[in-house]
Structure 1
Amino acid sequence: MIRFDTKIAVLLRDDLATWQRLNVTAFLVSGLARETPELLGEPYLDADDTEYLPMFRQPVLVFEAAAEVLGTARGRALARGLRFSIFTDELFQTGNDVDNRAAVRAVPTEKLALAGMAVHGPKNAVDKVLKGARLHG
């Protein structure tokens, strides 16, 4: 079994509907892939040499927590200097990247209504960020 020094984690607010959890997770991890391309492996090939896009080379763990824990996790990630992506409640009402960014820009950091966040970094730092969250299940 391969052991990784880093962790990729998604933290979702525990009151989201199933479709929201899936949608938020997909959007959040796209930010990590763009910011840290070395997280991606090589393209996949099947036996007929059909090529498929690469995916993360390590597992993505999905956690859930109450809104307060999510806010605390955001603060911990900022304090540790970790880069992370966020998804706010306002983004459920927008339909494109320009409006998404404007919706986030309009709200002060401490007042962001987070639906989720994704973070990548050293295992111990990510574990500290996620303290109080539980594995999604």
Structure 2
Amino acid sequence: MGTENVRFDTKIAVLLRDDLASWQRLNVTAFVVSGLGTAVPELIGEPYADADGVEHLPMFRQPVLVFEGAKEVLSAAHRKALSRSLHTAVFTSDLFGTGNDRDNRAAVRAVGTEQLDLVGLAVHGPRNAVDKILKGARMHP
């Protein structure tokens, strides 16, 4: 196995609103990253196996970077991502009050794009494009 650093041409990033509780940050991150692998299957690596031969599910083949920012930073990042036709997954504040996928989708569909109360966003795309989208955000502590 090589130990050289691998530099990816793309970036996976999660942007969280900075006023979320810890449990909300974890919940939102888990939900929004789950959408990226379905839209971009090549993001998923090979299955894992431990030394005993027990198989484990595959995961993303590259790091996921987590950022935070104010509500306005999320809205701007979302607009920029859409204008660049990048794959995004969103989590709105309304989803904290639902309990299933059907109701989640209905809650998002009920609100116009510019009015979405975003609390989380996952995006995948070329490194430089994702960096520009995240302008104003900071790495999650």
Give the TM-score taking structure 2 as reference length. 0.96
Q: Does 1:57 align with 2:70?
A: no
- The correspondence of residues 7-46 of structure 1 with structure 2, limited to 5 A, is 7-46=11-50
Q: C-alpha distance in 2, partners of 1:35/1:78?
A: 15
RMSD: 0.5
Paired position in structure 1 for 2:85: 81
Q: C-alpha distance in 2, partners of 1:37/1:108?
A: 28
Matched residue of 1:116: which SS?
A: strand
Alignment identity in percent? 72
- The correspondence of residues 89-100 of structure 1 with structure 2, limited to 5 A, is 89-100=93-104
- What per-residue deviation string (whole Å, max 9, x for no partner) do you get for residues 77-119 of structure 1? 0111111000000000000010000000000111100011000
Matched residue of 1:49: which SS?
A: coil
Amino acid at match of 1:31: G
Q: C-alpha distance in 1, partners of 2:108/2:35?
A: 15
Q: CA deviation at 1:68?
A: 0.4
Q: CA deviation at 1:124?
A: 0.4
Q: Which runs of 5+ in 2 are unaligned?
A: none
- Structure 1 residue ranges (4+ consecutive) displaced by more than 6 angstroms after TM superposition: none
Q: C-alpha distance in 2, partners of 1:118/1:76?
A: 13
Q: CA deviation at 1:33?
A: 1.1
Q: CA deviation at 1:37?
A: 1.1
Q: C-alpha distance in 2, partners of 1:34/1:93?
A: 25
Paired position in structure 2 for 1:131: 135
Pairing partner for 1:106 from 96, 104, 110 = 110
Q: How many residues align?
A: 137
Amino acid at match of 1:103: A
Paired position in structure 1 for 2:123: 119
Amino acid at match of 1:113: D
